[in-house]
Structure 1
Amino acid sequence: MSKGTALPDILPASVLAADTPSYDVVVVGFGIAGGCAALEAARDGARVLLLERAAVHGGTSSMSGGHFYLGGGTVVQRATGQEDSVEEMYKYLVAVSKQPEHDKIRAYCEGSVEHCDWLEALGFEFERSYYPEKAVIQPGTEGLMYTGNEKVWPFKEQAVPAPRGHKVPVPGDTEGTRMVMDLLRDRVEEAGVEVRYETGATNLVVDEAGAVAGLAWKSFDDTGLVRAPSVIIAAGGFVMNADMVAEHTPRLAENPWTLGSTYDDGLGIRLGASVGGELKHMDEPFITAPIYPPSALITGIVVNAEGERFVAEDSYHSRTSQFVMEQTDSTAYLIVDSEHVEYPKFPLVPLIDGYETIDELEDALSLPAGSVAKTLERYNEYAARGEDPDFHKGAEWLAPQTTGPWAVFDLRLGKAIYAGFTLGGLRVTVDGQVQRPDGSVVAGLYAAGACASNLAQDGKGYCSGTQLGEGSFFGRRAGAAAARARSSVSFSA
């Protein structure tokens, strides 16, 4: 076992002296999940300590695009005339989940409207406006857009599509989430949570019965112990841990751009594993190099090293990218004719060149002779009728690509600028209790956010806003459950 995958030592409860500081709940990590867990626990009357290794709050949450995946008829959906229901949201999330955990998906969907209201009560409002275009993120302050595969086949036949990407009303990507995290910090302080920055958990303390009874911490050269009957781990994923990435998600090791903070090193996951917590979906990464915007590029075709299509081009960008990863040598190209080509200002998928003929294109890319010509002939024939029998791309994105020259954009891994993060983590119950392989729970231990496996979406089914949405929602549930548990647990060592 390498250093980066080694599990922290477990400490016996005998290390807790009579004068060891005691709390009802200790939360590890002040991102969206940890902050919401701490706030909910404190509001339920618990004495809460929140530890954060960084000098400030926010974690990787502050680096996200600002989407919360919410639905079932939120105030924003209703105000913008977008119909949605708990049942349709539930059916969609089940369809896109690798191994759906129905109780969690049901809870998330049934609680989504209330959770949207709870988030706004932190001190902001999602703008009551809808952005109808296909984009990675709204360019302005629009409050609602599609951020997944809701309108992509086969999901559009399995659940009625609805936009569920609720964006914080700040232009751009990360500034909005920082605003939410600042508001969450203020509410946490008002609730009386004790926050210690530049302080991280190092080991869990476990009693003779196997229940978590506290933890050890380190801040620079200072170390210490805390007694607590409930510990909530919300310390992020493992994308910054090269050893864990190599072991679980090697594709991310080839990625030039990782989406995470310095502290996404998997320590929280390893803390949970040290006391018997099971790990789930550790091999699932989110990885993407969007081919849009501009959305006109979606009318083109994406082909592999054999010159053949393999995915509907109107898929959510991570879905397309995951299919690219499965191709020979992760090779793929986007081909668009001169009538539909547009050039993004900040291309993550670089232009290779333009080619006057398809023969020239095939030769330049070392694709089998006649392969792209055959693929285009079939695609163009059906696109002219508004049909795509092979991959069922939406009719609004179908257009014959017949007018040369043809532009080729490079989707190859190592050429396009892919970004990614990890999706796997500790197995937990709907209330965040960490579970062992046999399904039993590790008493006193909870997990939420990127170090927990909740909605179990894979990269092909991921929706933007899931990390913030489920992190905050299940963080709240873990905080409430931990606070309830304090009354039935003794502080005795």
Structure 2
Amino acid sequence: MSTAPSKGTVVPETVPASSLPPDTPSYDVVVVGFGIAGGCAALEAARTGARVLLLERAAVHGGTSSMSGGHFYLGAGTAVQQATGHEDSVEDMYEYLVAVSKEPEKDKIRVYCEESVAHFDWLETLGFTFERSYYPEKAVIQPGTEGLMFTGNEKVWPFKDAARPAPRGHKVPVAGDTEGTKMVMDLLRDRCEEAGVEVRYETGATRLVVDDAAVVDDAAHGVGSGPRVVGVAWKSFEQTGFVRAGGVVIAAGGFVMNPDMVAEHTPALAQNLFTLGSTYDDGLGIRLGQSVGAELKHMDEPFITAPVYPPSQLLTGIIVNQAGERFVAEDSYHSRTSQFVMEQPGSAAYLIVDSEHVEYPKFPLAPLIDGYETLEELESSLGLPSGAVAASLERYNDHAARGEDPDFHKGAEWLSPQGTGPWAVFDLRLGKAMYAGFTLGGMRVTVDGEVQRPDGSVVAGLYATGACASNLAQDGKGYCSGTQLGEGSFFGRRAGRAAAGRSFSA
């Protein structure tokens, strides 16, 4: 017996171009969504001379991009890296991103690395300058305006053996978690206005317009047989209408705010998590792509995290599961650690730190359970097997005293024996720690943002970028802070120029 799809997973029907009124307005490029990806797509398209319309469902620009911490993942020798004495190369950046990506699309990673410095320079032309300074501590985000820090697993095994580590998290020079990205989005809005982009707020695309009479079949250029996308249907409050377009760029965000899509693709995000997204991260952009045959990739990959640092001193401790055993290198990037926690029985884990190394975070996402005078008391209170934590600590302490960690290869700078009681225990259990997450999957696209079908052919006239597209394809364990803003802005630019019919040059 077949069942109807849930409301949140319904794929919109397309609109035949032949049904449009003769006075339907026409644009060279229509961009759907004014986050970092959509804004960069619209700006680059307009700068080629294209007539561009940008539709945004919210009353203001920014989208989920404005909620981010302000990191752009960039490297290969940027001005900030050079000024702070950090050597990096295209090859090191490339090898690292390949190592942390799930089913890496090497052509995209290659061009992202090769043009990273030029993209860094382009970002600064928006009207700001990354501070030429480095923050050396392990943190989720710099507390000040420092322009560079490590924001991934570059120094974590096995990735540190795959490529020479280098910091690539470039932060906008504004203190605070979100103010820097808001500043960038304001500057992007200003540049779009100067370039002549027409922006309509509180207006969302609802369906794609296709021209069945213009069936395209150009195998030589990777275009499969099928109708061309030639516009969109839109809705603003009670008003509706259509626009024609030479190219449509979907940059409408992910699907973390759509319970039905989350349940279908990333059920872990429905388990007592704080969702990182705007109201309109409901997957509509992805479903618009599905309406014309787009293939979806990595839809089951979430980003999930509950950082146990800062203070970074806590990483000298050990993280154990319900069996009292270690299962991850504690110096891993916070999302990597959290993903390993999710895989433990009951999604349960505890961070244990002795009295010589414990520091108490001001705003703990992993709350303190208690301090225990003896390991026996700790095990009994937490319901862990008798002697399990004691055995794990004994092995860890013995190797840490020699600067070694043969089990998980934690970096030497974080190895310190935890042998002095009392021991503090921080709660990493799902439902106790403050876990947050968002989605990573989306439409399959080419390096220029052309939406692809399962056979690899492209849907003529349709492009996708940002959180509704699958580009660098990092999984949750390999994600680097700054990837969303970095790849969203970079591939957004490429999609905008491609939709305008122009080749891209960084």
Q: TM-score w.r.t. structure 2 length?
A: 0.95
What is the alpha-carbon distance in structure 2 between the residues aligned to residue 77 and residue 234 of structure 1?
30
The counterpart of 2:309, out of the listed 292, 302, 307, is: 292
Partner of 1:453: 470
Partner of 1:407: 424
Partner of 1:470: 487
Partner of 2:454: 437
Tell me, yes or no, if structure 1 residue 160 matches structure 2 residue 145. no
The counterpart of 1:386, out of the listed 395, 403, 414, is: 403
The residue type paired with residue 425 of structure 2 is V
What is the alpha-carbon distance in structure 2 between the residues aligned to residue 224 and residue 409 of structure 1?
54
What is the alpha-carbon distance in structure 2 between the residues aligned to residue 266 and residue 334 of structure 1?
35
Secondary structure of 1:228's aligned partner: strand
CA contact (8 A) 1:200 1:217 kept: yes
Moved more, 425-434 or 253-262: 253-262
Instruction: Give per-residue Cα distances to partners, 1:295-321, cap 9 Å, x unaligned.
Output: 000000000011000000000000000
Shift of 1:45: 1.0
Tell me, yes or no, if structure 1 residue 81 matches structure 2 residue 91. no
**Structure 2: 5+ residue stretches without partners:** 216-226
Q: CA RMSD in A?
A: 0.8
User: Within 5 A, what are the aligned runs for 1:37-48?
Assistant: 37-48=41-52
Partner of 1:419: 436
CA contact (8 A) 2:371 2:423 kept: yes
The residue type paired with residue 309 of structure 2 is Y
The residue type paired with residue 55 of structure 1 is A
Partner of 1:131: 135
CA contact (8 A) 1:255 1:420 kept: no
Partner of 1:490: none
CA contact (8 A) 1:214 1:231 kept: yes
- Sequence identity of aligned pairs in percent? 83
What is the alpha-carbon distance in structure 1 between the residues aligned to residue 337 and residue 201 of structure 2?
39
The residue type paired with residue 177 of structure 2 is D
User: Within 5 A, what are the aligned runs for 1:53-452?
Assistant: 53-208=57-212, 209=215, 210-452=227-469
Partner of 1:491: none
Secondary structure of 1:269's aligned partner: helix
Q: Count residues in correspondence.
A: 486
The residue type paired with residue 104 of structure 1 is K
Secondary structure of 1:287's aligned partner: strand
What is the alpha-carbon distance in structure 2 between the residues aligned to residue 273 and residue 364 of structure 1?
51
Shift of 1:282: 0.4
Instruction: Give per-residue Cα distances to partners, 1:144-192, cap 9 Å, x unaligned.
Output: 0000000000000000000000000000110000000000000000000
What is the alpha-carbon distance in structure 1 between the residues aligned to residue 298 and residue 444 of structure 2?
9
Secondary structure of 1:407's aligned partner: strand
**Structure 1: 5+ residue stretches without partners:** 487-493
The residue type paired with residue 299 of structure 1 is T
CA contact (8 A) 1:31 1:234 kept: yes
Q: TM-score w.r.t. structure 1 length?
A: 0.98
Shift of 1:485: 6.2
Secondary structure of 1:151's aligned partner: coil
What is the alpha-carbon distance in structure 1 between the residues aligned to residue 231 and residue 430 of structure 2?
44
Secondary structure of 1:126's aligned partner: coil
CA contact (8 A) 1:305 1:332 kept: yes
What is the alpha-carbon distance in structure 2 between the residues aligned to residue 442 and residue 184 of structure 1?
28
Secondary structure of 1:132's aligned partner: coil
CA contact (8 A) 2:45 2:500 kept: yes
What is the alpha-carbon distance in structure 1 between the residues aligned to residue 443 and residue 289 of structure 2?
7
The counterpart of 1:10, out of the listed 14, 29, 35, is: 14
CA contact (8 A) 2:273 2:437 kept: no
What is the alpha-carbon distance in structure 1 between the residues aligned to residue 49 and residue 168 of structure 2?
33
Instruction: Give per-residue Cα distances to partners, 1:258-316, cap 9 Å, x unaligned.
Output: 10000000000000011100100000000000010000000000000110000000000
> Where in structure 1 do 4 or more consecutive aligned residues deviate above 6 Å?
none
What is the alpha-carbon distance in structure 2 between the residues aligned to residue 143 and residue 85 of structure 1?
18
CA contact (8 A) 1:10 1:206 kept: yes
Shift of 1:207: 1.1
What is the alpha-carbon distance in structure 2 between the residues aligned to residue 9 and residue 341 of structure 1?
57
